[in-house]
Amino acid sequence: MKYIQTIPTCETCDLQKFSVFKHLTKIELANLSIDKGCNFFKRGNVLYNEGNRINGFYCVNQGVVKLVKTGIEGREQIIRFAQKGDIIGYRSILSKELACTTAKVIDDAVVCFIPASKLFGLVQNNNSFAMELMKLACKELGEANKFILDIAQKTVRERLAEVLMLLRETFGLDEDHVLQILLTREELANIVGTATESVIRLLSEFKSDKIIALNGRKIQFLNENTLIRLSNFYE
Amino acid sequence: MKYIQTIPTCETCDLQKFSVFKHLTKIELANLSIDKGCNFFKRGNVLYNEGNRINGFYCVNQGVVKLVKTGIEGREQIIRFAQKGDIIGYRSILSKELACTTAKVIDDAVVCFIPASKLFGLVQNNNSFAMELMKLACKELGEANKFILDIAQKTVRERLAEVLMLLRETFGLDEDHVLQILLTREELANIVGTATESVIRLLSEFKSDKIIALNGRKIQFLNENTLIRLSNFYE
DNA sequence: CGTACCATTGAGTTGCCTCAAACCTAGTGG
DNA sequence: CCACTAGGTTTGAGGCAACTCAATGGTACG
């Protein structure tokens, strides 16, 4: 982690238009930039650890961050990802609890830090912002609930197929249908909630079935419909 | 479900003092009572179904409601319980999504219904209320995240022990250490995320180990420390 | 060129699921 | 009062998905 030369200002940040900050006034945005910190983080860097008291929240400007909970014998469970425009740490601040996850960079990232007081100020004075924030929390809650059902009832194969489609939604594919995020087998296992070896075996099954192609950590999507069907997705 | 004679008014409702409504003014509380519906529901009644569009939220005055998601071959996963003072359905309203759970009564209940417009009005005009609501959503989100970790990494035995302690926290024990909520074995399984038979086998194991005593659906706690230890709870 | 990390494959084990049958209890109605 | 039914509970048997452990191969990097 190191200080970067040009701190992106919130007023000129393009991401702001599509994020939770979209309803802020010019003045509010300018105010947000004051006291703001901004750092560059390399893969593996940790923004904060589970159990930390954090006094602000983070806004991802570039790169990818994973939010993980650590369980039995240090095994990680990936709860969600954050990429450009996403904010993290807001949950702990609003609920006035300790951080319930560790935030670890998995793709070199530029991340801004905004003190909690700013967040509370905005919630107090800008109802649209408060609504956006609530919407965000409620959306995440809905996703978490869905994930509970999946992990409780689906097989590992179904979950892996679903996770692949989920990653596809989140990070997209390039022109060759290659997934635009590189994860280790272990990280994949930590999303699905299974053993690394199980992921490896299932991936190579999918490969023999011509559903995906593998090249190191690159995953190429060959047959999305089958993947959706395998994930046992309905409704 | 039938109309009840005396609709509890929000101003005089004791529950209000400890709930998300605790910062409302007398006037706001009075206003909340207007247009409010209130019904009595018997065990098995459904307040709303997963996928419904709901145009208001519910406040539990008496009894217990379970929120479930329905998965493969109709098997239910219990996401959380709501009892007196708790509100349900607010997530869908705030995130403007369809209901992500079905709300089913498991202990005869009196439940008030408040139109969504009232909720939005309060969020607009009362910042403390907006904060409380956000706090609630974020707290639930934290719990959901924890549950994801548990269900992904713990054994069924550990999860059952944990669920028993969780129920103990939520519903309490009477003077004989009997859990103050009656659930079928199937419902227990639907919280833990396992098969009914597995719950039965493990419960009778706990019984032979003198950790609990069973009498129909009544569960008596004999040794909470062992239960905590079995749940693999740490930190 | 060694070290570290990750990926892969095989073998063996087991926790948990499914299926099936029997039993218990409470409610209904003749 | 008893027979009947329905819903829930319990126990047994058998099978398999997925885990653990272990060994090997590949790749990147200082």
With helix as H, strand as E and coil as C, how does chain A read? CEECCCCCCCCCCHHHHHCCCCCCCHHHHHHHHCCCEEEEECCCCEEECCCCCCCEEEEEEEEEEEEEEECHHHCEEEEEEECCCCEECHHHHHHCCCCCCEEEEEEEEEEEEEEHHHHHHHHHHCHHHHHHHHHHHHHHHHHHHHHHHHHHHCCHHHHHHHHHHHHHHHHCECCCCEECCCCCHHHHHHHHCCCHHHHHHHHHHHHHCCCEEEECCEEEECCHHHHHHHCCCCC
Q: Do residues B50 and B165 share a domain?
A: no
Q: Do residues B14 and B96 share a domain?
A: yes
Give the end of a domain, one of B151, B172, B196.
B151
- Chain B partners within 8 Å of A77 (Cβ): 148-149, 152-153
Residues B187-231 have pLDDT tens digits of 999 999 999 999 999 999 999 999 999 999 999 999 999 999 999
Give the end of a domain, one of B120, B151, B182.
B151
* CATH for B71: 2.60.120.10
Q: Do residues A121 and A39 share a domain?
A: yes
pLDDT band for position A17 (cuts 50, 70, 90): confident
Number of domains chain A is built from:
2
* CATH for A223: 1.10.10.10
Q: Is the CB of B204 under 7 A from strand D?
A: yes
Q: Do residues A131 and A39 share a domain?
A: yes
Phi, psi values for residue A126, rounded to 5°: -130, 100
**What is the crossing angle of helices B26-33 and B116-125, to 10°?**
170
Contact A60, A83 (CB under 8 A): yes
Contact A20, A129 (CB under 8 A): yes
Q: Do B77 and A139 touch (CB under 8 A)?
A: no
Q: Do residues B80 and B117 share a domain?
A: yes
Q: Do residues B205 and B91 share a domain?
A: no
Q: Do residues B109 and B171 share a domain?
A: no
Write out which nucleotides of chain C lie closer than 7 A to a protein Cβ.
6-11, 15-20
Q: Do A137 and B135 touch (CB under 8 A)?
A: no
Phi, psi values for residue B112, rounded to 5°: -90, 150
Q: Do residues A136 and A71 share a domain?
A: yes
pLDDT band for position B234 (cuts 50, 70, 90): low
The residue segments making up the domain with residue B215 are 154-231
> Which pLDDT value is given to residue B9?
86
Residues B26-74 have pLDDT tens digits of 999 999 988 899 999 989 999 999 999 999 999 999 999 999 999 988 8
Q: What are the tokens at A197?
A: 């070896």
Q: Is A84 on the interface with B (CB under 8 A)?
A: no
Q: Do residues A88 and A185 share a domain?
A: no
Q: Is the CB of A7 under 7 A from strand C?
A: no
Q: Rounded to two decimals, what is the model's pTM?
A: 0.93
Q: How far is the CA of B216 from the C1' of D2 (A)?
A: 25
User: Of B61, B51, B42, B63, whose CA–CA distance to B114 is shortest?
Assistant: B61
Q: Do residues A7 and A37 share a domain?
A: yes
User: Of A143, A119, A146, whose CA–CA distance to A133 is shortest?
Assistant: A119
Q: Do B142 and A94 touch (CB under 8 A)?
A: no
Q: Do residues A159 and A144 share a domain?
A: no
Give the end of a domain, one of B96, B123, B151.
B151
Q: Is A138 on the interface with B (CB under 8 A)?
A: yes
- Chain B partners within 8 Å of A75 (Cβ): 153
> Which pLDDT value is given to residue B2?
52
Q: Is B74 on the interface with A (CB under 8 A)?
A: no
Residues A55-94 have pLDDT tens digits of 999 999 999 999 999 998 889 999 999 999 999 999 999 9
- From the CB of residue B166, how many other CB atoms can be counted at a distance below 10 Å? 17
Q: Do residues A171 and A121 share a domain?
A: no
